[in-house]
Amino acid sequence: MGGLNRPATWHAVDAGGRDPATGRPPSYPGAPSAAAALADVPIATWPLAAASSGGTRVTVAHSLGTGGRRVAALLDRLARRPPPPASLSVDDLLRRTPAGRVDMPVVVVSPDRAVSVADEVDPAWMAVVERRRSSPRAGLVSGGRGVALEAALNLAMLLGTEPFDDDGPQLDARVASGARLWLLGGAVAGALAGGDDAFGPWAELVSFGFWPVGPVRDRLVLGAPPHGHAAG
Q: Which secondary-structure segment (H or E) carries 92?
A: helix 90-95
Closest by Cα among 99, 64, 66 to 186: 99
Task: Give CA–CA dist 32/5, Å, rounded.
Answer: 15
Which is nearest to 52 in space by CA: 31, 80, 77? Answer: 31
First to last CA, the chain: 71
d(CA 163, CA 182): 15
Chain Cα centroid distance, residue 76: 10
Q: What is the pLDDT along the chain (232 residues), one digit of tens a residue?
A: 344 566 789 999 999 999 999 999 998 889 999 999 999 999 989 999 999 998 999 999 999 999 999 999 999 999 998 888 889 999 999 999 999 999 999 999 998 899 999 999 999 999 999 999 999 999 999 999 999 999 999 999 999 985 444 444 566 777 888 999 999 999 999 999 987 789 999 999 999 989 999 999 999 999 998 765 444 3
Whole-prediction pTM: 0.88
For 114, the enclosing helix (H) or strand (E) is helix 111-117
- Bridge partners of 204, per DSSP, are none
